[in-house]
Structure 1
Amino acid sequence: ADMILADDNYATIVSAIEEGRGIFNNIRKFIRLLLSANFDEILIIFFASIMKFPPPLLAVQILWINLITDSLPALALGMDKPEPDLMKKKPRDPSEPIYHGMGLYILIAAIIAAIASLGAFIWFYRNSTLEIARTVAFTIAVLFELFLSFNCKSPNKYAFSSIKILTENKTLLFSILGGFLLQLIIIYTPFLQPIFDTYPIGLKEWGIILLGSLGGLILYPAPFEKLENKIRRFFKRS
């Protein structure tokens, strides 16, 4: 048999389908966030090297972003509750890849994050010191991804349109707050500064950081996924 009902209750099938859809959606949220972050880092390093600038991010900073800043929210997204209207949606095509519709969003998010980090790095490198420039670029990359994780949680809704959306996944909320607190610690703790090549920055730098990371607050997946699907259909017809 393809399916065995251990409790002889057909309602179990509905619950199983809902659970499966929820797990599938959470995997997509996880992938969407991590790929955006990784592609962002690649673009920052690539274009900085082309323009003959010092690396805006060092290896230890990239490891910090991948292992701490991105991983904690990504794991929290993997434990997200199913959306209330999940069972009202049409079944997906089984042949459709898990990353279907994500490409454009990942690309745009990574480009905006890279422009913000690299732009701030170049400005501070020319007008201040390499240590400050690198700390600002590093922190923009971190905050951008922390903010982006809110919108990756609710791909069909703008996360900041509702307090409920922001607070219903407590694990995600605490992982984002924890990631921000850890970033402050490695910036302002003297014995950690030489390890992570950070420098204690002031209010001016924080203003630029918050401005540069705003893209993570604004971008949410739904419009980009719709546009990507329209582009796919157009090329299939032509």
Structure 2
Amino acid sequence: MGNLKTCSHEWSKLETRIATLEFDRDRKSVGVIVSSKSGRNSLLVKGAVENLLERSSHMQLLDGSVVALDNKAKTVILNSLNELSSSALRVLGFAFKEDPPEFTTYNGDEDHPAHNLLLDPANYSKFESNLVFAGLAGLRDPPRKEVRQAIEDLPSSWKTGDNKNTAEAICREIGVFGQHEDISSRSLTGREFMEHHDQKGHLAYKGGLLFSRAEPRHKQEIVRLLKDLGEVVAMTGDRVNDAPALKLADIGIAMGIAGTEVAKEASDMVLADDNFSTIVAAVGEGRSIYNNMKAFIRYVISSNIGEVASIFLTAAIGIPEGLIPVQLLWVNLVTDGPPATALGFNPPDKYIMKKAPRRSDDSLISAWILFCYLVIGLYVGIATVGVFVIWYTHDSFFGIDLSRDGHTLVTYSQLANWGQCKTWENFTVSPFKAGDRMFNFDLNPCDYFQVGKVKAMTLSLSVLVAIEMFYSLNALSEDESLLTMPPWVNPWLLIAMSVSFGLHFLILYVPFLAQVFRIVPLSFNEWLLVLAVALPVILIDEILKFIGRLTSGSQSGPRPSKRKTE
């Protein structure tokens, strides 16, 4: 770097720049008019090698002599260009013209006739003609270390302003394409793409695409077509000519360090560090936030469907009310609150960046997700009502003894028709103990289905709380198994579950609160029954997730996104 500065300083002593022919996309070059100490003016040009060759009539040899530029020499130069660009080098060509006729006496004076000519960029091509080609140079701009991993995390469609060979070599180097992969159909210049017979079909290709030598109108057209295909399009850029596409994209991303003010103004986001991996991290964070929002919705909706289902089933089959309003309010407002809140701290799914991006018209809740909500909600309702029925009709369940409190068993028919109890002959109920209370129904056996349901109601409430706590574990991910995303990945959820269970134990074992909520403490065997009825919700949701993965191919066949980056 020190030698370059010294060289530039020494050169500025010999030559003075008096005018600049700004870069444009048609010429793909920039020129400067310099005046030497001897008073001679020269035009120095740098730009794309192919374009400079088209406008050069001579070439300068190593010894400084100038000879005519024939087709053989052009072929040699182009071969060198291909060799350098295939090695992932950005190649610049250099040419000059001594004593350009329009600027022979020009010294930067605004009154000089040449000054008016410089104000019109349409004249630049004419000035940069009959040049002497001086040579070419390959510039190494190595990708940052984090780019390869970012590309692996975010398969995408690429667009670059580089020479086609350079662009392909860079894409192979950073992992967009394999080293020996045939990409003849996946790498196009902007002009080739505009002439393609099926532009939308090509953009819908399920894999990475490369666009090189893309002009502003080409970039705009690519963004427009992708939006027509329903894609959510991100466009990154840093130059003035990127502004139209940045403005048209769903989200334009400009470079904060190297970006022009025009590009920044046209963009929705500005990268402070000009680091592509920052975009990947932002996409991952956005997907994670969206998934956590869905996890919250999934948990709350399924739980509420379950509570509604339990009330509906109770009325449908005619059994006594298993949950009273104060209990449902407690579950909704207090017990469900901590897990629902903790789901907002879920870490990103393991395969979050491998999944196909959402389309702009994708719904928040798909038909399959709604079906899953209904299945889980229905099981919650069945389990809550079922444990109520089990206590009244069975003295054991899967080997769990439920007869220790001495309660009287009834048939399901009697339970479903409990309102007709007074018409039954010889119906008697034995006294039983629930917590510290002794229940005796000698005076009115039919009270067994109202006053005596306190234990069955406690079991229903406990099952509802437990099943919703276990279901919150499944809400860690919409489609990943608990085997790949275990509960401890979100310690806040485990804490929230502990808080919810703690609150439930509080109202169970504090006499005053138990009286308010009309519940009684449960025995060890009764807690085993609660777990036996509640735990299957995990298995049911695991089966639903497995079916969802098979049908969507969410982990095995992701659809690459069609994002573009400059």
**TM-score category (smaller protein):** 0.7 to 0.9
Report the alpha carbon displacement of residue 184 of structure 1 after superposing the two structures with TM. Answer: 1.2
More helix by share: 1
Contact 1:112-1:215 at 8 Å conserved across structures: no
1:174 matched residue in structure 2: 495
Task: Look up the SS of the partner of 2:350 in the other structure.
Answer: coil
Matches for 1:90-105 after TM superposition, within 5 Å: 90-100=356-366, 101-105=368-372
Q: Please identify the structure whose Cα radius of gyration is greater.
A: 2
Q: For 2:469, which of 142, 146, 151 is the aligned residue? A: 146
Report the alpha carbon displacement of residue 10 of structure 1 after superposing the two structures with TM. Answer: 4.3
Confirm or deny that 1:191 pairs with 2:512. Answer: yes
TM-score by length of 1: 0.87
Identity of aligned residues (%): 32
Compared CA separation, residues 19 and 203, structure 1 to 2 (3 A)? same
Report the alpha carbon displacement of residue 185 of structure 1 after superposing the two structures with TM. Answer: 1.3
Report the alpha carbon displacement of residue 22 of structure 1 after superposing the two structures with TM. Answer: 0.7
Distance 1:200 1:228 in 2: 45
Larger RCO: 1 or 2 (CA < 8 Å, sep 6+)? 1
> Which segments of 5 or more consecutive residues in structure 1 lack a partner in the other structure?
231-238
In structure 1, what residue type is equivalent to 2:317?
Answer: M
Q: Deviations over 1:7-58 (max 9, x none)?
A: 1524332222111111100011111111110000101101111222222111
Distance 2:331 2:339 in 1: 11
Contact 1:21-1:86 at 8 Å conserved across structures: yes
Larger CA deviation: 127-136 vs 19-28: 127-136
Larger CA deviation: 12-21 vs 169-178: 12-21
> Which segments of 5 or more consecutive residues in structure 2 lack a partner in the other structure?
1-265, 394-408, 410-431, 433-451, 554-566
Contact 1:146-1:216 at 8 Å conserved across structures: no
1:204 matched residue in structure 2: 525
Larger CA deviation: 67-76 vs 22-31: 67-76
Contact 2:313-2:381 at 8 Å conserved across structures: no
Q: Deviations over 1:140-182 (max 9, x none)?
A: 01100100111110333321x36x7221211001101111121
Distance 1:50 1:5 in 2: 59
Distance 1:166 1:69 in 2: 19
More strand by share: 2
Distance 2:550 2:516 in 1: 43
Report the alpha carbon displacement of residue 123 of structure 1 after superposing the two structures with TM. Answer: 2.7
Larger CA deviation: 60-69 vs 35-44: 60-69
Task: Look up the SS of the partner of 1:5 in the other structure.
Answer: strand
Contact 1:105-1:224 at 8 Å conserved across structures: no
Compared CA separation, residues 49 and 209, structure 1 to 2 (3 A)? same
Contact 1:44-1:114 at 8 Å conserved across structures: yes
Matches for 1:21-100 after TM superposition, within 5 Å: 21-100=287-366
Distance 1:13 1:66 in 2: 39
Compared CA separation, residues 67 and 228, structure 1 to 2 (3 A)? farther
Contact 1:104-1:228 at 8 Å conserved across structures: no
Task: Look up the SS of the partner of 1:153 in the other structure.
Answer: coil
Larger CA deviation: 166-175 vs 3-12: 3-12
Distance 1:198 1:94 in 2: 50
Contact 1:113-1:215 at 8 Å conserved across structures: no
Report the alpha carbon displacement of residue 105 of structure 1 after superposing the two structures with TM. Answer: 1.3
Task: Look up the SS of the partner of 2:475 in the other structure.
Answer: helix
For these two proteins, the number of residue pairs brought into alignment is 228
Distance 2:304 2:480 in 1: 24
Report the alpha carbon displacement of residue 226 of structure 1 after superposing the two structures with TM. Answer: 5.0
Contact 2:335-2:465 at 8 Å conserved across structures: yes
In structure 1, what residue type is equivalent to 2:457?
Answer: R
In structure 2, what residue type is equivalent to 1:194?
Answer: Q
Report the alpha carbon displacement of residue 79 of structure 1 after superposing the two structures with TM. Answer: 1.6
Distance 1:105 1:84 in 2: 21
Larger CA deviation: 124-133 vs 34-43: 124-133
Contact 2:288-2:347 at 8 Å conserved across structures: yes
Report the alpha carbon displacement of residue 98 of structure 1 after superposing the two structures with TM. Answer: 1.2
Distance 1:150 1:62 in 2: 21
TM-score by length of 2: 0.38
In structure 2, what residue type is equivalent to 1:20?
Answer: G
Report the alpha carbon displacement of residue 191 of structure 1 after superposing the two structures with TM. Answer: 0.6
